[in-house]
Structure 1
């Protein structure tokens, strides 16, 4: 294994952001509590109260190995939800869906699925498994800055320029951490590039149901609108989703991938060797979650209240931007590490410096290649009273350190 992969200072794949935050704040004394951790995007709103009962009801299925492709009931529930949610016509077949242990598993395995040497293009900042999918499967990671000028999405002109060398292009929409949404024009062009150049387009849609006003369009709907008779309407495209955010059930560990049947079949075959299958009780409970929208509406309203509070408390301050979707604030500041230290030292708030989410955190890229260095990420996951307290403490710091657009 090359020295580029194993660096004694930062480990196998580079420093994970949360240990870096801990190291940055080591020895810094916060004021008296309560202290509020705004680093981790872990849902705190409760899943539906019937979820535990449903898991128990399906406990007898623990005596059987689950199939790699998942149960027929889960695949039907997932495809049915996708067809309803994204108005898919032609509809997506159950055979074009595969369950996974959350989204992270598949987002990594896409590097193995690419099946050819080449580039793995991803946004920066990005979710760490995108990078791992490249660096541990022989692909060359290319980080395209997700800057405001391009709607906080990778520049598709660059993707087109690199197209013949690309094996995998991963997009996140709604984006983590910026909360931006790819519109139908962006997605249609990305699909066209994947088909012209023959690479896999993977769209991480894990935040698709946590939105403020308008439901995100979705890459599968884009594919359906572009469909031609006699062709797989979802060719070269995979949408990756999860019940962690939609149903506030991260502990259930159920996600799903849907789209190109050939690629889905490849992932299913891979699972026979390189992944654990999802437990039958979990799939059964997940199918029940996918058939119910009442709890999703409640969870979405929970996040709307939090972001409405952010608009009211921080909306007039420099550096503030109101996100379209997701569960984070992405605040532009003069110095992200210094801001994180000040948040902890003066307000008892733990936040993530943006540079810890970009390539500088992974392999020592120069700062000019790390556009996220001018931001801090705030996880909006606590109850409304705790969130308001955190935002009120944050306001004078953003007044001092915020950078107007």
Structure 2
């Protein structure tokens, strides 16, 4: 089925992104997995090709595609087809952090950060999740207290993608504890600030290309000029931008599942048992038919949500639906793909095994699937 979401210019862009992936990422993937991080040279190459500033205006060093999220969707899809870890690392920077730096900053801040952000000279991360507060962003314990014109930041963050190597981290901290959710402020923490420390690279089940770390703030002084958005309105700022993060997750989820399913279908045509291709057995044939249908139906809904986002009409509830359902389908598809590969599906040298490991977290991050269902249920008046 031909997707009607994209036009010729998006197709041309897809070709360029695919060439970037094949040139800069695919040949280095095994090394990135072993070192648990992506080389800075790959970030600089992405910046040189204009892939990191898709949501940034040209006057600030961006690509000038900020009014058409479909270019971002193409970027996410092509990364995910190689590895969901690549999609996670690069799009945390280019699709999740970018709106904070474009929309909540002063002209001076934009001039200070965005050109190097778009060039890949500043790698970005976002610090929301804490050891005691995952999906419950209102339960943050990291604090920031005024001290003269500065703020003193204390606390920690965990499971931070790009955290180990990031040069710039958008950090959510509680500035008015008595206000609960209405007392959170966003700060830009920069590498080298006294009191900012990183923990080890976390040992994850999957997504080994992505560096993921703990961050610690111990009496760290943050100058007032590193506050972004309004003081005590950080929770609102985050809620306003979470729908884009969630539709981005959905785009990645279904692209990842579709690619591995395609490879599994080819495997089922070639792998033989009992004198015939395993795909020709009725059960396997029916199972693959179910999986293809599930992926294509989910893709249609995700595409509709992307189109709504381009038109400024994507609701938080529809983004939640796309996020949880795509993650559910992704994990069901990949589990079935492992099963169809038999024992080989459990071997790390097979892409399907790594994809299966990589995908499990998509039902947890960007708000767990249970939280997504809670949001949808509230919208139903329940």
Q: TM-score, normalised by structure 2?
A: 0.26
Give the number of the structure whose residues are more often helix, by fraction. Answer: 2
Higher RCO, Cα 8 Å, sep 6+? 1
- With the length of structure 1 as denominator, give the TM-score of the two structures: 0.25
